[in-house]
Structure 1
Amino acid sequence: MSLKTVGTIAIPNAEGSEFDHGAFDAKSRRVFIAHTARDRVEVIDHDASRHLATLPGFPGVAGAVADDGQILITNRGSASIALLDAGTLETRATYKTGGRPNGAVIVARLGLGIAACIGVDGETPTLQLYGLSDRRHVSINLPGRPRWCVTDAAAERIFLCIREPSMVLVARLPDLGEVTQWMVPSSGAHGLDIDHSRGRLYVACDDATLVEMSSTSGEVTNVWPIGGPPDVTFFNPATGLVHVAIGEPGLVDSIDPRNGHTTRTVTGAGAHTTALVAPDRLYVISPAHGGILVLSDT
């Protein structure tokens, strides 16, 4: 279950820079990466293993999520989200949000974009939903600072990590109704992903633990130690492994939830964000490597 280094992909002006969430779009076979320090989105051609394009004009870009050829970008610096076409790389639309949009979800078949906003200057954190074609807008207040979010397979519910009090907040789609709060027994709920087949959520927490929870009831089913405060967390359905990126000292911990076995891969200082290209690649965005450290997950 060990990750193996298979190469690197250079990104312009990456050395010593800062990145955030990235996402693989299966339709275009491209990876979209938030280059936060440069206010840009970097585009990688996965099949050619090369940097394809730099898209400027995304102030304080914090994340990218992908679904069926559509990319949703969160811009903390302009309190907005942007909808991109993964094929043409054109911006289709922008939508104003609350302050500092952070975690995000896009559901192309329902025409929905969702942004969890931290807020500014005492502003209450919010979870905001947008109709990407009809510009319908729904917003609910949050009990604390939001982190990452995912939906279930049917896109009937959204799950959102809240840092403090540490919890997973659950809301119904498409209207953000029937809000439930599932408390997490570790502090600082942060990275999040879901195993749709087994009905499990994986919550990486700031106190250096990975918590497994039922995605139907919120019951905690396991807690494992990890190598430090985490950030981006991915579950790979092809291998059944959960990969947690830890920026300091620069690690990826890979946990097999079926038996609790953990392996550790050294990456680089500041490499706290990744992009999963299922079934067999994990991209670690690493300023120390000048771009992407490509790991094989087989």
Structure 2
Amino acid sequence: MRLFPLAGTLLLSLASVSHAQAYHIADHWQVGGQGGWDYILSDDAAHRLYIAHNARVEVVDTATGKLIGAVTGLKSTHGVALNPDGKTGYISDGAGNAIVVFDRASLAVKATVPAGTNPDGIAYEPTTKTVWAFNGRSKNVSVLDTSNNTIVATIALPGKPEFPQADGHGAVFVNIEDANSIVKLDAQGKKIEGTWPLTGCESPSGMAIDHAKHRLFSVCDGKKMAIVDFASGKLLGLASIGDSPDAAGFDAKTGFAFSSNGEGSLSVVDTGKAGFPTIQTLATARGAKTMAFDAVTGKIFLGAAKYGPAPAPTAATPRPRPTILPDTFEILVVSR
């Protein structure tokens, strides 16, 4: 999870995408509740959206926009990973320093497994049937065996990890925020296989993956998206995006990569064209920095809320952030 400066509303800009094909905000789903939120995950097949929202994970029906329920009793949620069995999910509970295992039908907690300090990004690795929780403060990754819900490895990392992706063939990749790099991990050997510098990419956070073309898309400070060939580790280019990004997405059907930016914009990058041009910048809402992409419908889901005034500065917090107003949290639905 990344903090972000707040900026004014941006204007919609189109480059090489026609007006008829432009992304737009199609709906607002009111969720409510209190506090901040982090990563959002779409379960495309089940038509469900999982939202890490303060001390709970809320579940929304993406066919209706209605709240189904929530996984509760947690401390500070960050991310969600799903088992392909269709029955089980996993939550990184940052303040709880744990991986929380839950039943996707009842949303009941099945197990709470101690992890490292402040687990944040989380991913399921299918070849080993393991869950990888990346611990921001202890700078390591906890590997959970899903057959018995035990930690089978703890791997030290060369810096603070952010968002991960698994390639489905035994490799897990993660952005290292304070080292401006990507680490490749061997899931079978449970070890680091390589570290790739992201030249021109400061503080990488969100990451998306193109499985077919073997590419990773890391969004960075300085309004850049780094495109990396994960077969070789080569940096292919830097695309221009909005300010203060925290999440990325990729549509295999169109070849478009997305960056959700805390300034209040969604950047659309055409990865099929030379130079990786940004073809649209959609005004969203300030603070709408995390997103999920539904590969079936092509819709993008963004978390947003309204803000009150910032508290007075203190020596400990010289630049306090505005408060999130209770019951204003919503999901912005973006479509073409």
**Structure 1 residue aligned with 2:156:** 141
Kept in 2: contact 1:230–1:272 (CA 8 A) = yes
| Rounded Cα–Cα distance in structure 2 between residues aligned with 1:87 and 1:24 | 16
1:178 Cα offset (Å): 4.5
**Structure 1 residue aligned with 2:245:** 230
**Structure 2 residue aligned with 1:295:** 334
**Structure 1 residue aligned with 2:91:** 73
The TM-score with structure 1 as length reference comes to 0.91
1:235 Cα offset (Å): 0.9
| Rounded Cα–Cα distance in structure 2 between residues aligned with 1:223 and 1:241 | 14
The answer on 1:60 being equivalent to 2:76 is yes
The answer on 1:98 being equivalent to 2:116 is yes
**Structure 2 residue aligned with 1:162:** 176
Aligned positions of 1:126-205 closer than 5 A:
126-134=140-148, 135-154=150-169, 156-185=170-199, 186-205=201-220
Q: Where does the alignment leave 5 or more consecutive residues of structure 1 unmatched?
A: none
Q: Where does the alignment leave 5 or more consecutive residues of structure 2 unmatched?
A: 1-20, 307-327
* Secondary structure at 1:164 match in 2: helix
Aligned positions of 1:229-248 closer than 5 A:
229-248=244-263
Q: Please list the CA deviations of residues 170-209 of structure 1 after superposition, one character each: whole Å capped at 9, or x if unmatched.
A: 0111332252100111221111111001111111112220
Letter aligned with residue 285 of structure 2:
G
| Rounded Cα–Cα distance in structure 1 between residues aligned with 2:206 and 2:222 | 12
* Secondary structure at 1:159 match in 2: strand
1:47 Cα offset (Å): 1.6
Letter aligned with residue 99 of structure 2:
I
Kept in 1: contact 2:124–2:166 (CA 8 A) = no
Letter aligned with residue 204 of structure 1:
V
The TM-score with structure 2 as length reference comes to 0.81
Q: Please list the CA deviations of residues 106-156 of structure 1 after superposition, one character each: whole Å capped at 9, or x if unmatched.
A: 23564311111022xxxx4111111022325101111111100001132x1
Moved over 4 A (4+): none
| Rounded Cα–Cα distance in structure 2 between residues aligned with 1:146 and 1:177 | 15
Kept in 2: contact 1:193–1:201 (CA 8 A) = yes
Aligned positions of 1:40-51 closer than 5 A:
40-51=56-67
- Aligned CA RMSD, in angstroms, stands at 1.7
Match of 1:218 among 228, 233, 253: 233
* CA 1:125–1:166: 2 relative to 1, 3 Å: same
1:261 Cα offset (Å): 3.0
| Rounded Cα–Cα distance in structure 2 between residues aligned with 1:46 and 1:40 | 18
**Structure 1 residue aligned with 2:292:** 275
Sequence identity (%) = 23
| Rounded Cα–Cα distance in structure 2 between residues aligned with 1:137 and 1:76 | 19
Bigger Cα Rg: 2
**Structure 1 residue aligned with 2:102:** 84
User: Which sits farther off after the overlay, 27-36 or 173-182?
Assistant: 173-182
Letter aligned with residue 287 of structure 1:
A
Q: Which gives a bigger RCO, structure 1 or 2 (Cα 8 Å, sep 6+)?
A: 2
User: Which sits farther off after the overlay, 282-291 or 137-146?
Assistant: 282-291
Higher strand proportion: 1
Kept in 2: contact 1:30–1:86 (CA 8 A) = no
User: Which sits farther off after the overlay, 87-96 or 198-207?
Assistant: 87-96
* Secondary structure at 2:37 match in 1: coil
